[in-house]
Amino acid sequence: MRTRRVQGWLILFIFLFMPFLAYAEAPPGKGQTGEAASVERAAAPADEQEEFAEAKPISDPLEPWNRLVFFVNDRLYFALVKPVAQGYGLIVPEWGRVRVRNVFDNLKTPVRFVSSLLQGKMKGAGNELARFLLNTTLGMGGMFDVAGYNLQLKSSDEDLGQTLGHYGIGEGFFIVWPILGPSSVRDSVGMAGDFFLSPVSYITPFEDWLAVRSFQFENDISLKIGEYEDMKESALDPYVAMKDAYSEYRRSKVKEDRTDTAPGPGWPVR
* pLDDT, tens digit, 9 for 90 and up, residues 217-259: 999 999 999 999 999 999 999 999 999 999 999 999 998 743 3
pLDDT at residue 1 greater than cutoff 60: no
Residues 6+ apart with CB under 8 A from 81: 217, 218, 221
Residues 6+ apart with CB under 8 A from 157: 112, 253, 258
Separation CA 68–CA 173 (nearest Å): 16
CB 162 within 8 A of CB 190: yes
Burial of 93 (0-12, 13-18, 19+ CB in 10 A): exposed
Instruction: State the SS3 of 109-172.
Output: HHHHHHHHHHCCCHHHHHHHHHHHHHHHHCCCCCCCCHHHHHHCCCCCCCCHHHHHHHCCCCCC
**22, 24, 26, 29 alpha-carbon torsion, rounded to 10°:** 60
Average pLDDT over residues 46-57: 59
Kindly report the backbone phi and psi dihedral angles of residue 215, in degrees, each rounded to the nearest multiple of 5, phi listed first: -65, -45
> pLDDT class for 263, splitting at 50, 70, 90?
very low
Element of type H or E holding 104: helix 94-107
Separation CA 124–CA 184 (nearest Å): 25
Query: What is the tally of structural domains in the chain?
Result: 1
Separation CA 219–CA 84 (nearest Å): 10
Q: Indicate whether 75 belongs to any domain.
A: yes
CB atoms within 10 A of CB 10: 17
Separation CA 201–CA 31 (nearest Å): 48
CB 172 within 8 A of CB 184: yes
Q: Indicate whether 29 belongs to any domain.
A: no
In 3D, which of 257, 114, 267, 103 has the Cα closest to residue 193? 114
What's the pLDDT score for residue 5?
54
What's the pLDDT score for residue 222?
97
What's the pLDDT score for residue 100?
97
CB 109 within 8 A of CB 141: no
> pLDDT class for 6, splitting at 50, 70, 90?
very low
Tens of pLDDT, residue by residue over 98-140, are: 999 999 999 999 999 999 999 999 999 999 999 999 999 999 9
Query: In the chain, what percentage of residues exceed pLDDT 90?
Result: 70
Tens of pLDDT, residue by residue over 14-43, are: 444 443 343 333 333 333 434 443 444 445
CB 125 within 8 A of CB 113: yes
In 3D, which of 85, 152, 166, 161 has the Cα closest to residue 121? 166
Residues 6+ apart with CB under 8 A from 232: 238, 241
Q: Indicate whether 105 belongs to any domain.
A: yes
What's the pLDDT score for residue 156?
87
Tens of pLDDT, residue by residue over 158-217, are: 999 999 999 999 999 999 999 999 999 999 999 999 999 999 999 999 999 999 999 999
What's the pLDDT score for residue 19?
39
Q: Indicate whether 114 belongs to any domain.
A: yes
In 3D, which of 241, 194, 256 has the Cα closest to residue 13? 194
Q: Which domain holds residue 222?
A: 2-24+59-255
Rg over CA atoms, the chain: 20
- The chain-wide mean pLDDT, for the chain, equals 82
Tens of pLDDT, residue by residue over 137-150, are: 999 999 999 999 88
Q: Indicate whether 136 belongs to any domain.
A: yes
Q: Indicate whether 40 belongs to any domain.
A: no
> pLDDT class for 53, splitting at 50, 70, 90?
low
Q: Indicate whether 268 belongs to any domain.
A: no
> pLDDT class for 50, splitting at 50, 70, 90?
low
Q: Indicate whether 45 belongs to any domain.
A: no
pLDDT at residue 270 greater than cutoff 60: no
CB atoms within 10 A of CB 66: 20
Cis bond upstream, residue 27 (ω within 30)? no
> pLDDT class for 266, splitting at 50, 70, 90?
very low
